[in-house]
Amino acid sequence: MSVVISRALVLVLLGYGRRALAMIPTGPGPKDVFTAGQNCTIQWTTAAGPAWDGFDIDLMSGSNTNMTLVTNVTQGVDATNASASPFNWTCPEVEPYGKIYFYQFTSKSNSSDKQWTTRFTIQSPDGQSEPPAHVSQGYGQYGTVPWGQGHLANSSTSEPETVASVDSFSSSSVTTASGKTCRAHYMKSPDPEPSALSEPEPSASVTSFAVAPPEETATRCSGCEEDPAKRGAMLNSSAEELESEPWVRISIGFMAAALLMLAI
The 3 state secondary structure assigned to the chain is: CHHHHHHHHHHHHHHHHHHCEEEEEEECCCCCEEECCCEEEEEEEEEECCCCCEEEEEEEEEECCEEEEEEEEEEEEECCCHHHCCEEEECCCEECCEEEEEEEEEECCCCCCEEECCCEEEECCCCCCCCCCECCCCCCCCCCCCECCCEECCCCCCCCCEEEECCCEEEEEEECCCCCEEEEEEEEECCCCCCCCCCCCCEEEECCCCCCCCCCCCCCCCCCCCCHHHHHHHHHHHHHHHHCCHHHHHHHHHHHHHHHHHHC
pTM given for the model: 0.56
The answer to whether residue 20 sits within a structural domain is yes
User: Which residue has better confidence, 109 or 62?
Assistant: 62
Q: Is the pLDDT of residue 69 over 80?
A: yes
Poorest-confidence range of 96-105, 168-177, 192-201?
Answer: 168-177
Residue 32 lies in domain:
13-164
**Per the structure, how many domains does the chain have?**
1
**Which residues, including other chains, have CB under 8 Å from residue 7's CB and lie 6 or more apart?**
none
Poorest-confidence range of 14-18, 52-56, 207-211?
Answer: 207-211
Q: Binning pLDDT at 50, 70 and 90, where does residue 197 land?
A: very low
The answer to whether residue 218 sits within a structural domain is no
pLDDT digits (tens, 9 = 90+) for 121-135: 999 999 999 999 998
The answer to whether residue 192 sits within a structural domain is no
Average pLDDT of the chain is 68
Q: Phi and psi of 241, rounded to 5°?
A: -65, -40
Residue 251 is predicted with a pLDDT of: 52
Within 13 Å and on the Cβ side, how many CA atoms surround 131?
6
Nearest to 71, CA basis, from 55, 94, 48, 100: 94
The answer to whether residue 112 sits within a structural domain is yes
**Which residues, including other chains, have CB under 8 Å from residue 211's CB and lie 6 or more apart?**
174, 176, 182
Q: Is the pLDDT of residue 144 over 60?
A: yes
User: Which residue has better confidence, 262 or 144?
Assistant: 144
Q: Is the pLDDT of residue 195 over 70?
A: no
Task: Return the amino acid letter for 67.
Answer: M
The answer to whether residue 247 sits within a structural domain is no
- How far apart CA 232 and CA 230 sit, in angstroms, is 5
Q: Is the pLDDT of residue 181 over 50?
A: no
The answer to whether residue 207 sits within a structural domain is no
The answer to whether residue 214 sits within a structural domain is no
CATH code for position 47: 2.60.40
Q: Is the pLDDT of residue 35 over 70?
A: yes
Q: Tell whether omega for the bond before 50 is within 30 degrees of 0, i.e. cis.
A: no
Residue 42 is predicted with a pLDDT of: 98
Q: Is the pLDDT of residue 93 over 60?
A: yes
Q: Phi and psi of 2, rounded to 5°?
A: -65, -30
- How far apart CA 214 and CA 109 sit, in angstroms, is 48
Q: Binning pLDDT at 50, 70 and 90, where does residue 214 land?
A: very low
Residue 263 is predicted with a pLDDT of: 62
**Which residues, including other chains, have CB under 8 Å from residue 232's CB and lie 6 or more apart?**
none
Q: What region does 65 belong to: left with phi over 0, alpha with psi -120 to 50, or beta?
A: alpha
Across the range 63-85, mean pLDDT stands at 93
The answer to whether residue 89 sits within a structural domain is yes
Strand order in the sheet with 39-48: 21-27, 39-48, 87-90
